[in-house]
Amino acid sequence: MDTVFVPSGTSRANLKGYTLIMPVVSVGNVGQLTIDLIISTLGLPRVGYIHSDCLLPVVGNNPYTTTSENSAEMCISSEVYASADQKLAVLQIRSPIVQGKHRSFRQQLFSWFKESEFSRIVVLSSSHAHHRVDRQLVGTPLRYLATPSLQTIVGDKFQTLKWKELERVAAFPGISEVEQEIYIPGGGITKSLYNDSCTEGIPLAVLLIFCSEGDNIPDAFSLLNFLNEWIQLIEKTSDQHTVTRAQWKIPSSWRLLFGSGIPPALF
């Protein structure tokens, strides 16, 4: 399979040993909003993009513009940003997968994962809150999944953080409660990415939040702080338990997240 990563400049970015953080297109677009905050806060430069016929084409202005000079830059449906200092790569996906091409897109991603030799991959996702089972209704709406390959790397880190693993649910409720399966309604390709990573021996973690469609900015901050407990993107001050919202930089493109407002002329 031909490579799907195309570097921005003439030199090819060496991402070996990097941590990759990426979203899955899912309910509320929480993963993508979280990635926006990471790129904007850390000021990550773009190092390339994913060339794929599996994503709907999108083009627009630079969503992370900070000056009049870089406001004219363009963005497309999937781009890769990276920091050599932090050994961090971030993939942003801005459009849904073409119907019938979910499997092809996963294959392209895995080809890139293996070629790049990432040390670990973190998938940010979300799931419909109204599909939760009884035991998921209490406590935090945040959950994680980790492949066996990643578990050997992190050890008991998630237990130390007191994170809750995503509960398995009955595959055939009311008929057989013995067979349990992973259930992520509204999660797009999250489940298949995780299952394929288990099979392929990829060190991958899924971090997700139960939510509903609407203003999902608070969900993005919750998921980002959840991630930051494990992978210290920015440090919390000594007198804080968590990173405050003010420490994350909101991208300029969020000003129009819900449109430009109601025209006063209507009234």
* DSSP state for residue 134 in the 8-state scheme: G
* CA 199 to chain CA centroid, nearest Å: 21
Structure confidence at residue 237 (pLDDT): 64
Q: How confident is the model at residue 249 (pLDDT cuts 50, 70, 90)?
A: very high
Distance from C-alpha of 210 to C-alpha of 91, rounded to nearest angstrom = 22
Q: What is the mean pLDDT of residues 187-210?
A: 96
pLDDT above 50 (res 140): yes
Where exactly are the structural domains of the chain?
14-236+244-255
Residue corresponding to tokens 């009311």: 174
Structure confidence at residue 73 (pLDDT): 86
Which neighbouring-strand residues pair with 146?
Answer: 205
More confident residue, 213 or 71: 213
Average pLDDT in the chain = 90
CB burial readout 202-229, b (16+ within 10 A) else e:
bbbbbbbbbbeeeebbebbbbbbbbbbb
Structure confidence at residue 262 (pLDDT): 73
Distance from C-alpha of 18 to C-alpha of 90, rounded to nearest angstrom = 10
φ, ψ dihedrals at 60, nearest 5° = -165, 180
pLDDT above 90 (res 99): yes
Q: How confident is the model at residue 3 (pLDDT cuts 50, 70, 90)?
A: low
Least confident stretch, 58-67, 92-101, 143-152: 58-67
- The percentage of residues in the chain with a pLDDT greater than 70, rounded to a whole number, is 93
Q: Could you read off the pLDDT of 46-77 as tens digits, one per residue?
A: 999 999 999 999 999 889 988 877 777 889 99
Structure confidence at residue 162 (pLDDT): 95
pLDDT above 60 (res 210): yes
- In the chain, the largest separation of any two C-alpha atoms, in whole Å, equals 62
Residue corresponding to tokens 């489940």: 191
Answer yes or no: CATH 3.40.630.30 is held by domain 14-236+244-255.
no
Q: What is the pTM of this model?
A: 0.91
